[in-house]
Amino acid sequence: MHLRPLVLIACTLAPLSTNADQTDVRLDELFSILKQTNNPAVIRGTENRIWEAWLEHDNSDVERLMSLATQRMNTQRYPEAMLAFNQIVENFPNYAEAWNKRATLNYLLGNTDESIADIERTLELEPRHFGALSGLGLVYIQRKQLSKAKEAFEDLIEVHPNSPNAKQNLELVIEQLRFGVI
């Protein structure tokens, strides 16, 4: 395991102004578009623009470390990814996307309690975070807490009413609740 690049980048992390991702003024308009359209191409494009805004940070070192950590997570180099995400959330606790990415990693590692805690922090910072809401629903499905999963997917649909995945997941959970299937 080679941790050296992460440590070198992380050493440059020093909190600057905290005008991070979820405070981007463009987001209100983008979420308005999500509520008004059912065009799949517009939905995908708008979602991508929201993700881009969420990933932005005033500190370019943080953006590079997030990119590196995400790449490590996607290539199953989980200890390196966790080290990087931990460093980011410790140094920039108001950066919602770092909490969300760490929640995803915790989910992949089977740490559902930690994943839920990170999702909750993400949602405190950005209540409209459709990725976190979706993840919360999936964690609750895995934990067989279907009423909580239903609530998470309903919250997701309130934020992103035309999300096909949210609607499908909600229907699945409702059906499982109706028939007691787990």
Domains of the chain: 4-9+24-179 (1.25.40.10)
pLDDT on residue 134: 96
pLDDT tens-digit map of 154-182:
999 999 999 889 999 999 999 999 987 65
* pLDDT number for residue 21: 63
Model pLDDT for residues 57-109, shown as the tens digit of each residue: 999 999 999 999 999 999 999 999 999 999 999 999 999 999 999 999 999 99
Its pTM stands at 0.86
Between helix 26-36 and helix 40-55 the angle, nearest 10°, is: 160
